[in-house]
Chain A
Amino acid sequence: MRSDLSKSSSFSYLLKALLFSQIPILTLIIVLFTPSLSMGQEDLSQSWFNLHRVNMLVFLVFFFTVIVIYIERAKVGKSLFIRRIAGLDAIEEAVGRATEMGKPVLYISGIEDVDNIQTVASMIILGNVAKMVAGYDTPLYVPICQPFVVPIAEERVKEGYAAAGKPEAYNRDNVRYISSEQFAYAAGVNGIMMREKPAANLLFGSFYAESLLMAETGLATGAIQVAGTANIHQLPFFVVACDYTIIGEELFATSAYLSKEPKLLGSLKGSDLAKAIIMVILALGAILDTLGITHFANWFYIE
C-alpha cells in the first residue's frame, strides 16, 4: 500500500484518503441525519436538491471514487487479475470454425437503441469481433434494428478491418438496417440465417421476446452460437439455445477483458469492490432487519 502511494500521483492519494477515511464517516453522518433533513421536503418543486435521493448520490460518488482509485492503481502498473470468461474465449473459437467451414459470421446487436448501455457494450464487442474476423478473411454480417446504431456499427466494423490491416476487405453493405419493429427484425435476421447459413452467430446486447426466435433458428442451422445479455428474462432462452452464454455483468466486462487496457481493467476491479461492499451491506441489512433495527435498511430506499 505504501509503495503504491509513493508511486501514484497526489490526486490518487487524495482520492484514496477520501475513500478510506472521509467517505465512510460522511456516509455514517448522512445515514444518521438524512431523515431529519428530508423532513419538510414535501414541495419538491421549490427545492434545489431532492434529499430523499441523497442515498443514491452517496452511492454514485462512492462507486465513482472506487473506480477512479482502481484506474490509478492500474496506471502505476499494479497487475490486476480477471477470471476467465468462457463465453468470451468462445468468440474466437466460433470465428475460427466459421473460417474453416468457409461460411460467414453473423453479429446481432440486440433491438435497443444506443441510449441503452447494453447496445454500447455490444458495439465495443463488435469492434473486437470485426478485427478478429478480418484477420481470418471471413465475411461478417451485422443486421441492425435501430437506425441510430447503423453509423456506429459501420464505424466499428470499418475500424476493426483497418486494425487488422485489411481495410479493403470491409464491405459497407454487410452492415444492414433491417427494421425498428421487433418481429420484423427477427424475421429479417432469421431470413439471413436460413439463406446465408452462417457458421457462427454472435448475439450481444439487449433482447426481448425475439431472443428465442433467433437463437432457435440459429440452432436449427447448426451454427455455433455465443450470446450475452443483461436482460435476465431472456437468459434462460439463450442458455438453452446457445453454446455459450455471457450473463449480465460479464457483458459489461467484455471491453476490459478483450482489450486488457489498464484503465478499463481498473474500472472493472473497482466495480467488483463495489459489488463486494454491496454484498456486505445486504447481509448487514438482513441481520439488522431481522433484529428489528429497520433504520439501516430504510436508508437505502429510493423515492
Chain B
Amino acid sequence: MRREVPIVICFLAGLSFILEYFIPHQSVRPIFENFRQWAIIVIAFAYVLGISNIVRVNYHVIQKKGRDWIYKIVLVLGLFFMIIVGIFFGGIGEGTIFFWIYNNAYYPLQSTMFALLAFFIASAAFRAFRVRTFQASLLGITAILVMIGRVPIGENVWKSFPDLVEWIMNVPQLAGKRAIMIGAALGAISTALKVLVGLERTYLGGE
C-alpha cells in the first residue's frame, strides 16, 4: 500500500492535467482548477519540511559547537525573525517592515550575486575561446563574428555584418539548439509517461 497509493495519486493527478489540455468544456474547468489549488496548498506545506530541515541540521552543529556554529545561530535567528515580522508586523506587502528588510538587505545581496556572473562569464569565455583544437577555433571565430556584428562598429566595418550574424543565429545556431530541444522534450515526455503509469517508481524510494 505504501507504494501503490502514491502511484495511483500520481496517475490520477497527471491524467487530470492531460485531460485539462484536451477538454475545454466550462463544466469541468472548476475540477481542474481545484486540482491546481490543491497542488498550491500541498506545496505550501512543504515549507514546513524545509524549515524543520534547516532547524535540525543547524541545531546539531550549534549543540556540538561545531565549525562556524556562531553563524548557524545567526541563520536560525534570521529565519525566525523574518517569520515573526511577516506574520505579526503587518504582513509582507509594500510598506511593511518585512518588505523594507527584504528590499534593503536581501535584494542588494541577491543583486551582488547576480553581478558576479559577469566576471564568471568573462573567465569562462577566456577558457572557451582558447584556440587549441579545430572545434575551439571555429567556436572562437564564430563568437568574435557574432560579438562584432551585434555592436554598432560591426555595421561600420562592413554593411552586411549584422545580416551575417542574423544568419548564424537563425540557421546553424538555431538548428543545433532545436535538435537538443526536441531530444530533451521527447526524453521529458517519456520520463513523465513512465512516472505517470508507474513504470518509473524509483523516485518513491523503498524499492
Binding site for B on A (CB under 8 A): 44-50, 53, 56-57, 60, 63-64, 67, 71, 113, 115, 117-118, 120-121, 123-124, 127, 144, 146-148, 150-152, 155-156, 158-159, 172-173, 175-177, 180-184, 186-187, 195, 209, 212-213, 216, 230, 232, 235-237, 239-241, 247-253, 255, 259, 263-264, 267-268, 270-271, 274-275, 278
The reply to whether A248 and B184 contact each other, CB–CB distance below 8 Å, is yes
Q: Please classify the interface of chain A as helix (H, G, I), strand (E, B), loop, or mixed, using the class held by over half of its residues.
A: helix
New A-B pairs, 11, CB < 8 Å, besides A173-B57, A180-B50:
A115-B39, A117-B195, A120-B191, A121-B191, A146-B46, A150-B53, A212-B121, A247-B180, A248-B181, A250-B187, A274-B186
Q: Do residues A71 and B205 form an inter-chain contact, with CB atoms below 8 A? A: no
Q: Shortest 4 CB-CB distances between A and B: which pairs?
A: A147-B50, A252-B187, A155-B205, A248-B184
- Across-interface contacts of A212 in B (CB, < 8 A): 117, 120-121, 124
Instruction: Give the dominant DSSP class at B's interface.
Output: helix
B113 to A183, Cβ gap below 8 A?
yes
Residues of B with C-beta under 8 A to A251: 184, 187
Q: Which residues of A contact B180 (CB under 8 A)?
A: 232, 235, 247-249
8 Å CB contact of A44 from B24, B49, B120: B24
B156 within 8 A of A: no
User: Quick check: B24 and A249 within 8 Å, CB to CB?
Assistant: no
Given A213-B120, A235-B180, CB of A152 within 8 Å of CB of B203:
yes
Q: Contact residues of B with A, CB < 8 Å? A: 18, 21-26, 29, 39, 43, 46-51, 53-54, 56-57, 60, 67-68, 106, 109-110, 113-114, 116-117, 120-121, 123-125, 127-128, 177, 180-184, 186-195, 199-200, 202-207
Name the contact of A230 in the complex, choosing from B18, B46, B187 (C-beta under 8 A). Answer: B187
Contact of A271 among B53, B110, B113, B190 (CB under 8 A): B190
Interchain CA distance A22-B168 in the complex, whole Å: 43
Is B181's CB under 8 angstroms from A67's CB?
A: no
A124 x B202 contact (CB < 8 A): yes
**Nearest CB in chain A: distance from B76 CB, A:** 13
Give bound CA distance, A158 to B188, whole Å.
26
Q: Kindly provide the distance from the CB of B152 to the nearest chain A CB, expressed in whole angstroms.
A: 25
How distant is B128 from chain A, measured CB to nearest CB, in Å? 5
Are A124 and B23 neighbours in the complex by a CB distance under 8 Å? no
A213 contacts B116, C-beta separation under 8 Å = yes
Could you give 11 example pairs across A and B, Cβ below 8 Å? A63-B190, A71-B199, A177-B49, A183-B109, A213-B113, A213-B120, A239-B128, A248-B181, A253-B187, A275-B182, A278-B186
For A235, the chain B residues whose CB sits under 8 A away are 180
- Whether A45 touches B127, Cβ cut-off 8 Å, given contacts A120-B191, A123-B203, A252-B188, is no
Pick the residue among A123, A232, A268 that contacts B177 (CB under 8 A): A232
A302 and chain B: residue at smallest CB distance: B21
